[in-house]
Amino acid sequence: MEKRGFTFRNGFLYCEDVRVKDIQTDLSTNGIVPSSPCFVYSKEKIVSNISAYQTALKMLNISTLLNFSMKANHTPAILQIVRSMGCSVTLVSGMELKMALKLGFDPRLTVFNGNGKQDWERLLAIEEGCLINVDSPFDLMQTMRMCQKLRKNSNVLLRINPDIDPQVHPFISTGLANSKFGINTEDLEECVTLLEKCSQITLVGLHCHLGSTIHNVSVFRLCTMKLLSLKSELKTRGFNNIKYINIGGGLGINYKQLAERTSPARSSCTMSLEDGYTQTTVQGNNARQLNVTERVSQNDLDYNSGCSELMHDDLKVPTPGGLVECIQSALVDSEVTLILEPGRSLVGNTAILATTVLGTKGNQTKRFIVIDGAMTEVPRPSLYGAYHHIELSEPTDIVQVDKTTNRSSLNDPHRQVYDVVGPVCESTDFLGKERLLPEPHEGCGLAIFDVGAYCSSMSSNYNLRLRPCEVMVDGSTWHIIRRPDTFADLFEPYEGHWQ
């Protein structure tokens, strides 16, 4: 089946078979306040991304468990799709666990992460029989105390900090020795000694999560081999129940696959700090560089194309198949269940933020497009300089559409270099800088792409902004999966407590 996702037709942006402008118009007509901005998801794209992982995992001759990292997006309608396709979830808070239970996920297949867990969260996880990731000696001791209090046993994994550089932005790198996550070499022996003395806790697995937006899949092979080596060492000390090897998630997606369309130089774009991929080969006796990505021409790029394509020859974008291929030989003859817990690469490219242009301003030095979307909906650019592609979602009244390309010409004299900014009272409230775009009319639609991960889930009410509506498109139909906030939602927690 042809993957539709997000495409342009006659100058208008479509999600699957629905015109984005029509969604915005219908929301406004039906009195959804505010109707813009809003998140628009493609169900087909979510299903396609999950299927790509499931197909890749079938290459392995061992048991596997695909867990969606809920912190990437906790919208219930998306989680229901995840569950319907046979996936479980990885959690990082007690409220995420409550959400998983509410939606019918099997708690015995959930992984409960966290470098600092509150007692009520830990108690709930033990009561429900979750796989608990232990992150430190104090985390283990607190889990032991809760097991004794409940008089219940618990299955745990040790989250190991392997000191492997995933070659990503330092803010989202979690596998280095200076990270707050995981058990370092100095603390590992203390944890093992505690486990040897505690009959209520069974060590059933080893876990490692290196970071996010990983492009060099060789680091996963190195991680896998380190965990398998540690498993063998622990077996000599009597730990015979280690079943799970969890290598985390972290695959990057191609945020910049269409960046040349709006690059002022119309040539290779400088990568953001977050993208941060280099060609450096991972060092170590067990590391190797594999050719696990496909190469395509620039003319073939489209939002339909998924994770396997490249924007430029020097930017390798990983695929689930490439990840599995890289670790496959390391898992030969291994009697383990492999856990993968991707988040971004399952939902990142499945959504846009549909916004409306409020106006343009500036001078010959700097020009701005001001929209009704902001850092409150898409915080990643202001957090760590992340890139999101931006384009008008409809023809502007000021520029005619080239019918041969279904979009305005790159050489159109009305195209100018803009910073795309929001209305939040912060200088860091920008969605994109130095983008070559047609001059939009007031009220023109504008889309921020690839916002399915770490946008809705990180959105806020800063400036007392209302978190936006969310919409799911399925073929030629769509429905609201989250209503926008109301003033009552903002005021109710204070009502009766402030006088």
Would you kindly state where each structural domain of the chain is located, as residue ranges? 6-42+349-491, 43-343
What local confidence, expressed as pLDDT, does residue 424 receive? Answer: 97
Cα torsion through 342, 344, 350, 355, rounded to 10: 160
- Residues with catalytic annotation? 425
Instruction: Report pLDDT for 294.
Output: 29
Can you name the residues that pair with 12 across neighbouring β-strands? 9
Q: Identify the CATH homologous superfamily for domain 6-42+349-491.
A: Lyase, Ornithine Decarboxylase; Chain A, domain 1 (2.40.37.10)
Nearest to 293 by CA among 256, 323, 272, 248: 323
Task: Name the nearest CA neighbour of 287 among 230, 327, 340, 335.
Answer: 327
Residue 400 confidence (pLDDT): 56
Smallest CA-to-CA distance from 349 within 213, 197, 221 is with 213
- In angstroms, rounded to a whole number, what is the distance separating the alpha carbons of residues 117 and 115? 7
CA dist 415 to 288, 360, 418, 419, 438, Å? 45, 13, 9, 13, 4
Task: Give the model's pLDDT for residue 378.
Answer: 98
Closest listed residue to residue 47, CA positions, set 80, 73, 70, 88: 80
Place of tokens 């916002």: 451
pLDDT of residue 15: 98
**Low-confidence stretches of the chain (pLDDT beneath 70):** 1-3, 163-181, 266-316, 399-413, 499
Q: H-helix or E-strand containing 392?
A: strand 390-392
Same-fold call for 6-42+349-491 versus 43-343: no
Confidence (pLDDT) at 293: 29
Question: CB-based burial of residue 362 (10 Å sphere; 0-12 exposed, 13-18 middle, 19+ buried)?
Answer: middle
Give the model's pLDDT for residue 289.
29
The pLDDT of residue 16: 98
**Any idea which architecture 43-343 has in CATH?**
Alpha-Beta Barrel (3.20)
Dist CA 407 CA 414 (whole Å): 13
10 Å Cβ neighbour count for 114? 21
Contact 60, 326 (CB under 8 A): no
Question: Nearest CA to 376 among 311, 312, 425, 445?
Answer: 425
